[in-house]
Amino acid sequence: MPEYESGTEYIAHHLGFLRYGRTADGSWGFAHSVEEADAMGFWAINVDSMIMSLLVGVIFMGLFYAVSRRATSGNPGSLQNAVEFIVEMVQSTIKSTFFGRNALIGPLALTIFCWIFMMNLMDLVPVDWIPLFAQVVAQDSHTYFKAVPTTDLNITAAFAICVFILVIFYSIKIKGIGGFLGEFAFHPFGKWALPLNLIMEIPSFLAKPVSLALRLYGNLFAGEMIFLVIAMIGWFQLPLHFAWAVFHILIITLQAYLFMMLTIVYLNQAHTEPEAH
């Protein structure tokens, strides 16, 4: 296990990404320091976030596919019961929140909830295990590797932007370009208050993806920071780690549910006309 000169260095290392991009000499490779990672700029890729996101995504699809192939109505196992509970929860949420007609909503909501939940769940793995494994594989004790994709703003922003694009797409498809633009120009105060309507509606519309991305990122990043601080205590961390992990289960589940719920709400707004004032 690598030695760190201070707790600050320990936390800084665990918050670093395995970043791949163009280095100062013009070649492409992995960053070996925070300064080198920052110098790579916008087009660098956080490889650890990509690996963990794809890994948990494959696990999610594999589990659901296996359950669907072996599903039985006679004596379902615990895994089938868990999957059925999740599916029914998503269905009931959609029925109470979404009032349009769109076959995409169900699969989209289920994917968002399960994928984000499983990414959040990586926060319960002891903070040193996966980074140490990455260092062993890389044969480099200074290798950076973050195990929780939702503590990467790039990942949460990508989710939010995809939802935002869907909202714009269905708003235009259902209401037409005129109806979509009219929501900004003529609501909430009618056509005589067009400048005020634009000032109020455009920022609130643009705030939707920002709030989605930052809410998920902020909560998971804060949770990871607390785990890192607890880890610096040494062997006395065990009861604190367990207590925070139990509480954090609620956070990771709630954040996945909120992201799914807000996605459904925003898409429902895209499928319905705003109330007249």
On whether the CB atoms of residues 115 and 60 are closer than 8 A, the answer is yes
| Structural element, H or E, at residue 127 | none
Chain centre to alpha carbon of residue 114? 10
Known catalytic membership, residue 211 = yes
Count CB atoms within 10 A of the CB of residue 148.
Answer: 25
Known catalytic membership, residue 219 = yes
Look up tokens 């005129």; give the residue: 178
Biggest distance spanned by C-alpha atoms of the chain: 68
Strand ordering across the sheet containing 19-22: 28-30, 19-22, 45-46
Strands (E), the chain: 19-22, 28-30, 45-46
d(CA 95, CA 100): 10
d(CA 135, CA 36): 18
| Structural element, H or E, at residue 97 | helix 78-97
Q: Which of 49, 197, 219, 268 is catalytic?
A: 219
- Of 207, 163, 204, the closest CA to residue 187 belongs to 204
The single-letter code of the amino acid at 59 is: I
Catalytic residues, which ones? 211, 215, 219
